[in-house]
Amino acid sequence: MTIPPFLALTFAISLAGFACIYLIPAARSPESLTGLPFWLLMVWGPSLAAILLSLRDGQLADLLGRMIRVSSVPLSVWGLVLAPMVLILLLRPFAPGGALPLGVGAVALMVAFNLILGPLGEELGWRGVLQTRLGAQMGWLEAALLTGVIWAAWHLPLWTIESPHAAISLPLFAGHVMLYSVIIGAAHTLSGGSLLPAILLHLSFNLAANLAVFAGFRNPDAWFWASLAPYGLLALASIVLVYARTGESGLRWLSL
């Protein structure tokens, strides 16, 4: 499988779903029965493209197997996965608003909703195909940054409609996506290509943003500004961690 067919199919599937959302007012919310199927189609573009092309190339079993591979994941990567949840606890005292009650059932529903409308629909593609293929041609950090640019661009249509993403400053969101991509890319590299940390990290980032509302960050920009520097430090720590464990800077041109 090469990168151009994957990207073409990913954007074709996702834009088809978005076109339906854009043209059907009742589909603007993923929480409605009308909108949910189209949002699933849009969000699942990367993973559907990865599944279809892997099936064509006889690589589907390997792709799906990487989703549940635990043996190659070091303890340090689990620390990265938990970091966004720790960050919520650390930043909660600085929230501009008061905390809101949140029941166990609501948290479970939030986890399931974010898992389905996020990492499961994206990570088979972004890290399972794109990061992996790019990493074979360049350093892991270069691959992560390029994946981040494409990942951010893939989100852009959401700023043309009233969506939860549109409530966030676009440059601020793009900055977060780039940092997420570096952290996930580092976890993917340290885990020998396992996609489980990528899925769980993506989920953890999304959950942190959702839980921030209940922690007192009512305005989405407030959370994204408050967490930008900490995520930047976490991205830097991830780069150092990869170098410490593998000796790779992630920038192939440095070794030329």
Q: What is the pLDDT of residue 163?
A: 83
How far is residue 187's CA from residue 239's CA, in Å, rounded to a whole number?
A: 10
Whether 197 contacts 127, CB under 8 Å: no
- Which parts of the chain have pLDDT scores under 70? 254-256
Q: What is the pLDDT of residue 88?
A: 96
Q: What is the pTM of this model?
A: 0.95
Q: What is the pLDDT of residue 144?
A: 97
Q: What is the pLDDT of residue 218?
A: 92
Whether 198 contacts 187, CB under 8 Å: yes
Q: What is the pLDDT of residue 255?
A: 63
How far is residue 212's CA from residue 206's CA, in Å, rounded to a whole number?
A: 10
How far is residue 221's CA from residue 113's CA, in Å, rounded to a whole number?
A: 22
Q: What is the pLDDT of residue 164?
A: 83
Domain locations in the chain as residue ranges: 70-255
